Amino acid sequence: MNTLLDNDLYKFTMMQAVWLKYPKARVRYQFINRRREDVFTEEAVHIIRERIMRLADCCLTEGELQFLAELPFIRFDFIEFLRGFTLSAEDVKVEFEDGHLHLWIEGTWVNTILWEVPLMAIISEVYFEVVDTNWTSELSGYAKKTAEKGRRLSAEGCNFFDFGTRRRRSYAYQDAVVAAFNDVGGTFGGTSNLHFAMKYGLRPIGTMAHEWIMGHAGLGRVETANQVALDAWLEVYQGQLDTALTDTYTTEFFLQNIRGRLAQTYDALRHDSECPLGFADKVLQFYADEGIDPAEKGIVFSDSLNVDKAVEINRHVAGRTKAWFGIGTHFTNDFGDSRALNIVIKLYEVDGVEVAKISDNPIKASGDPLAVQRSLEAIQAAAVKLA
């Protein structure tokens, strides 16, 4: 990993918004391995530390800065801020105990926000280099399999993107995936990875993550985090990047929060947990209740998708709303019995206030258990008042 652009677009869009609005906010992030049976080794942790140091030496080239500057939602003064910007390895604390990797990131929000995605990619790549080595796959064969996925999705009219940076098998395999989809064309719409978007002349895809809404819960209150975060986003982007993530504090509560103006303003919602078919029906009914034509809106599906799931969802919503599919692990880490890691890095604390993600799927909840419970109680009480 030798470029800061080997990262997802939404980290840069959130970074720009944080730089504009909350440049002094301090945060902590926590690494979570959702499958405790996937253990690491001392050798793996040593290599992870080395690659963290290497990434901290990277800064954006003039060509990369020009690529970012050509994106219509990136400000000139933010490009100037990025010129010479580097990550600090001192902000990342790595510990190893009884096979388990413990990792925290701490510092100002704007200076640490770019760590999450490349750190996860590093951890995943190293795991499959030195821990789980019981797999083989030629890049050419993997690319051929990937191309067939693209042809199937295109034949079904599924508009799809590569969202596979965070849990990829390696840089080389993601490169092969994006190249294969680029050759196939069809309904392939681009990649979340800025480096590969630049390399292949593709559209970079992304808006915001749970982190943006969780951050506003720490800076303010859980009960108002959805509205305040979405309004702040509108202030920064003025109607661009208008896809909102729904499930930070459950989709039910989110939909209560965006009735009226915000429902009208945001053109798409992103699904990241619970049953996608049930989610789609819920959102379409919400729009109908709001007097909004669902056909004028859209849904981005991005939760543990594969080709079969995307096809099923696309058929379910066909003719009722627009749909896009951000597919990650199934594209960049699909190796049969050698399963991908189930890892995340989530915001844990903002300016000394512990924050949590609730999600529609309890398995995806994150944060200190007391913070999770406090957040759940707060949104339950607020939901009663909104009902």
pLDDT tens digits, one per residue of 78-87 = 999 999 999 9
Residue-wise pLDDT tens digits, 215-236: 999 999 999 999 999 999 999 9
The confidence band for 337, taking pLDDT boundaries of 50, 70 and 90, is confident
Backbone torsions φ then ψ of 88, nearest 5 degrees: -110, 120
Residue-wise pLDDT tens digits, 87-113: 999 999 999 999 999 999 999 999 999
| C-alpha 141, offset from chain centre | 28
Q: Is the pLDDT of residue 387 over 90?
A: no
pLDDT given for residue 270 in this prediction:
97
pLDDT given for residue 1 in this prediction:
66
Q: What is the DSSP string of 136-189?
A: ---HHHHHHHHHHHHHHHHHTT-EEEE--STT-S-HHHHHHHHHHHHHH-TTEE
pLDDT given for residue 80 in this prediction:
98
Average pLDDT over residues 294-301: 98
Sorted by sequence, the CB contacts under 8 Å of residue 201 that are 6+ apart come out as: none
Residue-wise pLDDT tens digits, 13-38: 999 999 999 999 999 999 999 999 99
Residue-wise pLDDT tens digits, 158-194: 999 999 999 999 999 999 999 999 999 999 999 999 9
- How many angstroms separate the CA atoms of 264 and 258, rounded? 9
